[in-house]
């Protein structure tokens, strides 16, 4: 995993919003957070981009839904997506206020 993390560190995309508009986008910190997670540093990963873990949980649940589609799992995914959107928005606001 460290090779992948090293490769990703060397090939990170610059943030368009940060460069052009001067403020953090809702996904600022995602790349660095994934790299920290791949390196096994969960605390640093959470610090860099707190929404990563709810997004990963939603992705895993979506895979489960793809495998076994039921009305209940669809409702749960919809709720999880709304929660993810709220977490992303809150994180973006906090990042822009603190920087």
Instruction: Specify the number of domains making up the chain.
Output: 1
1 falls in which pLDDT band (50, 70, 90)?
low
The answer, yes or no, to whether residue 69 has pLDDT greater than 90, is no
Please give the residue range of the domain that contains residue 10: 2-98
CB 45 within 8 A of CB 34: yes
Question: Can you tell me the distance from the alpha carbon of 2 to that of 35, in angstroms, rounded to the nearest whole number?
Answer: 9
Is this prediction's pTM over 0.85? Answer: no
- Please give the average per-residue pLDDT across 61-68, as a whole number: 86
pLDDT in tens, 9-47: 777 778 887 888 888 888 888 999 999 998 999 999 999
**Residue among 62, 56, 55 at smallest CA distance from 76:** 62
């Amino acid at each position: 995993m460290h090779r992948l993390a090293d490769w990703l560190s060397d090939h990170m995309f610059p943030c368009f919003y940060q460069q052009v508009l001067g403020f953090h986008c809702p996904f600022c910190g995602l790349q660095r957070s994934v790299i920290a997670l791949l390196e096994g540093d969960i605390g640093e990963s959470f610090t860099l981009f707190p929404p990563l873990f709810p997004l990963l949980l939603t992705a895993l649940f979506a895979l489960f839904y793809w495998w076994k589609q039921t009305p209940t799992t669809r409702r749960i995914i919809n709720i999880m997506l709304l929660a993810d959107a709220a977490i992303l928005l809150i994180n973006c606001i906090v990042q822009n206020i603190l920087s």
